[in-house]
Structure 1
Amino acid sequence: MGLFDDRIAVVTGAANGLGEATALRLAAEGATLALLDREGPALAAVCDRIAAAGGRARGFVVDVLDRAAVADVFAEIAGRLGPVDVLVNNAGGSARERNREFWCSDPEVWDYVIDLNLKSAMFCARQVVPGMRDRGRGKIVNLGSGSYNAGDADIADYVAAKGGVVGFTRSLARELAPFGVNVNAVSPSTIMTRAAERAPEVMARALANVPMRRAGRPEDIANAIAFLASAQADYITGQVLVVDGGRTFN
């Protein structure tokens, strides 16, 4: 018996990195997966890996910033797979090459970063919360960031957005606790993802502040997400699990 047998789980941003690792982890524990990403070929490859291992996954190519398309996808998931038991809001990221110190940053970039990290998580949650509330069960896991915990410079928009994710997590957890729905967040930092590989100097500076002296693996985050999404965490809600090798201590 797996932790997620007979459960339908949605993972956003599932085509690579943390989302891919999370999809593989949940599938290994028996979940039937609906995987969302805008990168179709990479998403199909993840679904193929899951199928080759005996799991069940269906990919949905969608941009989480397109609310109409997201609403349609969640309606399709409900029709094809059934009610969603687990939602992992993983899609997100900084503005990368458009990052600037705040004094010369672009408000249009702020909008993009906040929409991608905070509003998309809120909108995806809005698609599943009514059903979870009615059924009296469900798990939502949002992705925070160690950048919020540390207050990293030059990405004020991203830090603010992830701070919003934490606030949203706590508020929604309090709303839904009486209905048996758990809402938590995982806050990763210094994880070796595709984005980190593109910025080795930034990663080296970050690792200098990590007591464990190594970068985390996507699987480290996937394990934390799987725990919070499972029945093992039934009495945990409104919490932020920091997974950063000791970079910050709350």
Structure 2
Amino acid sequence: MRRMEGKLAVVTGAANGIGRASALRFASEGANLAILDREDEGLAVTAEKARAMGAEVLTITADCTDEDVVVAAFKRIYAEAGFVDVLMNNVGQSARERASEFYQSSSEVWRFVLDVSLVSTLLSSRQVVPAMREAGKGKIVNVASNAGLAGEVGISEYAAAKMGVIGFTRSLARELAPFKVNVNAVCPGVTKTRVLEQISDEFLDKIRSSIPLGFFAEPEDIAAAAAFLASDDSRYMTGQSVVVDGGRWMV
């Protein structure tokens, strides 16, 4: 299917993992791309693969937590690539090696995780909302997580940030509904990205045993849900949080 033929999709955090898989899925659906990430080498690989599918691709090396950088990046996108039909806010990160139970945590880690996983979503969304309102169309797909829904121990700041993304999604969806702009979130469970390399096999086995389907997602599984939310197939959905976690959290 070519559900995004001729549309421009912006994907943040597109150098690897879910961001890369989503950008490539959008390209396979006919979209042209503007992709952002701090990792220029990974970004170049994503761009090469997307161009091989026939997509026009604008790459921008950017820190999506830096407001001045984000504003400049989107000005360039509008100037060089045109109207943004789809924004996928994929940038996000847990505390990773600095993760701890809350009583041992620090405000420095909280602020880092909130900036990367929540504020970045607000910053990029702020750049596209005025034009989408004026045009009376557009899709915003925010990447949240099932972490906030499940309330995992040791990642309280990440859970808070991702529940913030869900709350932001719902509020913005109501605000933009009169302008026919859809705002939805996808909530991945454990997905086979680089972060799993930092987790012990014992802990991964414990998580896997809690998943009814019995296996972890591939980035392409999340990309498939994102492509649905970015396409006209989801035209009557807004403010929703689509959980893709193998049945670990059932709504």
- TM-score of the superposed pair, with normalisation by structure 1: 0.98
CA contact (8 A) 1:151 1:159 kept: yes
C-alpha contact (below 8 Å) 1:133/1:181 kept by paired residues: yes
Aligned equivalents of 2:237, 2:196: Cα separation in 1: 30
What's the offset of the Cα at 1:199?
Answer: 1.4
Q: Which moved more, 1:195-204 or 1:114-123?
A: 195-204
> Which residue number in structure 2 is paired with residue 90 of structure 1?
90
**Separation in structure 1 between the aligned mates of residue 134 and residue 24 of structure 2, nearest angstrom:** 29
Match of 2:217 in 1: 216
CA contact (8 A) 1:11 1:19 kept: yes
Query: 1:31 maps to which residue?
Result: 31
CA distance in 2, matches of 1:224, 1:34: 20
Task: List per-residue Cα deviations over 1:203-241 (Å, max 9, x = no partner).
Answer: 222111001011111111000000011000000000000
Q: How far 1:57 sits from its partner (Å)?
A: 1.4
Match of 1:123 in 2: 123
Q: Which residue of 2 aligns with 1:243?
A: 244
State how far apart, in whole Å, the 2-side matches of 1:52 and 1:188 are: 27
Partner of residue 230, structure 2: 229
Cα contact 1:190–1:203 (8 A) shared by 2: no
CA distances 1:171-217 after superposition (whole Å, capped 9, x unpaired) = 00000001000000000002111112331433222111001011111
Aligned 8 A contact 2:65 2:123 in 1: no
For 1:137 and 1:238, how far apart are their aligned partners in 2? 15
Determine the C-alpha separation between the residues in 1 that align with 2:200 and 2:4. Answer: 36
Give the aligned partner of residue 170 of structure 1.
Answer: 170
Identity of aligned residues (%): 50
Alignment of 1:130-169 (within 5 A): 130-169=130-169
CA distance in 1, matches of 2:250, 2:115: 28
Match of 1:207 in 2: 208
Q: Secondary structure at the match of 2:214?
A: coil
One-letter identity of the residue aligned with 1:218: P
Question: Partner of 2:140: helix, strand, or coil?
Answer: strand
| RMSD over equivalenced CA pairs, Å | 1.0
Find runs of 4+ consecutive structure 1 residues off by over 3 angstroms.
none
What secondary structure is seen at the aligned counterpart in 2 of 1:59? strand
Alignment partners' CA distance in 2, 1:174 and 1:137: 14
Q: How does 1:56-71 map to 2 (within 5 A)?
A: 56-71=56-71
Partner of 1:11: helix, strand, or coil? strand
Q: How many angstroms apart in 2 are the aligned matches of 1:130 and 1:159?
A: 29
Tell me which amino acid in the other structure corresponds to 1:74.
F
What does residue range 36-51 of structure 1 map to in structure 2 within 5 Å? 36-51=36-51
Q: TM-score, normalised by structure 2?
A: 0.98
Unaligned 5+ segments in structure 2 are none
Cα distance in 1 for residues equivalent to 2:215 and 2:227: 22
- Matches of 1:101 and 1:198, distance apart in 2: 17
Deviation at 1:100, TM superposition (A): 1.2
Structure 1 residue 71, shift from structure 2 partner: 0.4
* Partner amino acid, structure 1, of 2:157: D
1:77-105 per-position Cα deviation (integer Å, ceiling 9, x unaligned): 00000011100000001010111110010
**What does the per-residue CA deviation read over 1:85-132, in whole Å, with 9 as the maximum and x for residues that have no partner?**
100000001010111110010101100100111111011000000000
What corresponds to 1:10 in structure 2?
10
- The unaligned stretches of length 5 or more in structure 1 are none
**How far has the Cα of 1:53 moved from its partner?**
2.5
Q: Is the 8 A contact 1:142 1:165 kept in 2?
A: yes
- Aligned AA (1:226): A
Looking at structure 1, the residues matched to 74 and 43 of structure 2 have their Cα atoms a distance apart, in angstroms, of 17
Q: Distance in 2 between matches of 1:135 and 1:237?
A: 17
